[in-house]
Structure 1
């Protein structure tokens, strides 16, 4: 029986088809005045989408790593607190989390800050000073940190305990074991699902449009409502997201292949 070829060795026919569609859509954008106007308008929201994704993902990764280490801690309290956070947050849809953080958690956070400010003599802030952009970033950070924590936990647990015991026998501290032995090996296991979460956040960043943040999706809705050309407008919106996600997907796959080739 002939073994099936490995997926990475298949010729990327899908990429040729997707590239052909992208070339056709890019030509339509270049050749049509309406498409060019829509692209010019939506390009202003690309930077908001990139900013929200990068800041949200970096913050979520830091919190996720802390949660993963807490869930593997010897302390029962840390383990239970980490599991509580992860299970509760993962059970709430991202769009519900966005609305909750924007209209419930953020005002409560401002009120708590003002209470502390009155006690220590700091200047109070207004709720509207906490912009919707940063509320959206906070919501995505909270939501994705729970998923990323599970990715880190699985990667850290994949390391053979014998290596950790050998590092202990050599006299390495806990931080040295993590930095030199555990994390470099776990990173290869973590990278594929972590990359998937990053691409998912690029797409989920479109949900910030429900708060009125002027990202690509929100500008697309405003543009379509103004010119009533929904077909052309949402073609450009889809093209922008596809270019970002497919490019990231190919770059991550290339990085995985390079890491796999290293000893």
Structure 2
């Protein structure tokens, strides 16, 4: 099989519109934008809690209870959105006109409706039919929304692979299923990983929207504290810093994973 680096453009870039900027895995300088942002957020949060324990330390002990709900919704949504995105991406490039039409319609419809509206729709509009819990409504709405966006990422990553790879696999006796899952997707994953990681981090940030259905996530806990104490500036400053720290750390994890993929691909 030809080397994957010959079958994929080295300049292939999948543009993303949400989420943090993934650190360049080739950037090993200690002082860079990522480290400055992380250090600034951590130092600011620590200084606020140390020099002004009331109310900042009290806020820090109150809002983290919602982190468990935030991560629960995020992880469940990722587990649903990534397979859905893969199926959507495959459907978008399918030669079957019906499958292609269904996948394309799903993408157009979901991407045209704001996530907040989808959350309201699943929890309130369909509550009489489906009897969804807050968690189920949040996971389903976020999964459907991001599945459409991830479908476009998978589609672009798959199409970035040279047709010569497919032709070489078919000449070796692989069927279409084997060609896609054993040849194309492993090569496309190097291109797909950064934007997929970006979408997953953006998904975590968008879990703040589930607070509108009174789910006790990080944002809902912050709203509850602010409404009781009227310390809106202090409360949302802490929440913003917590979200920033989490997203920066996760973006670094994605960068490390991308670096590992490039390392092993370079050794082949």
Q: What TM-score bracket applies, with the shorter chain setting the length?
A: 0.7 to 0.9
Distance 1:30 1:107, change over 3 A: farther
The runs of 5 or more residues in structure 2 that have no matched partner are: 1-23
Distance 1:68 1:21, change over 3 A: closer
Residue among 27, 30, 45 paired with 1:25: 45
Corresponding position of 2:135: 133
Residue among 83, 86, 90 paired with 2:107: 86
Corresponding position of 2:203: 201
Corresponding position of 1:145: 147
**Deviation digits for residues 15-50 of structure 1, max 9, x if unmatched?**
443213421312322451432221121111001111
Inter-partner Cα distance in structure 2 for 1:106 and 1:196: 31
Pairing 1:71–2:54 present:
no
Inter-partner Cα distance in structure 2 for 1:157 and 1:13: 33
User: Could you say what secondary structure the match of 2:113 adopts?
Assistant: coil
User: Could you say what secondary structure the match of 2:63 adopts?
Assistant: helix
Corresponding position of 1:56: 77
How far 1:166 moved relative to its partner? 1.2
Q: Which has the larger radius of gyration?
A: 1
Corresponding position of 2:12: none
Corresponding position of 1:102: 123
**Equivalent runs, 1:1-263 vs 2, <5 Å:** 8-9=26-27, 11=29, 12-18=31-37, 19-30=39-50, 32-108=53-129, 110=130, 127=131, 130-262=132-264, 263=266
Inter-partner Cα distance in structure 1 for 2:135 and 2:27: 42
Distance 1:13 1:84, change over 3 A: same
Q: Which has the higher helix share?
A: 1
TM-score after normalising by structure 2: 0.83
Structure 1 stretches of 4+ moved >4 Å: none
* Larger RCO, structure (CA 8 Å, separation 6 or more): 2
Inter-partner Cα distance in structure 1 for 2:40 and 2:95: 54
The runs of 5 or more residues in structure 1 that have no matched partner are: 1-6, 111-126
**Deviation digits for residues 218-262 of structure 1, max 9, x if unmatched?**
110100111122222112211210111000111112222222233
Inter-partner Cα distance in structure 2 for 1:106 and 1:66: 27
TM-score after normalising by structure 1: 0.85
User: Could you say what secondary structure the match of 1:74 adopts?
Assistant: coil
How far 1:10 moved relative to its partner? 7.9
Corresponding position of 1:121: none
Inter-partner Cα distance in structure 1 for 2:159 and 2:41: 42
User: Could you say what secondary structure the match of 1:172 adopts?
Assistant: coil
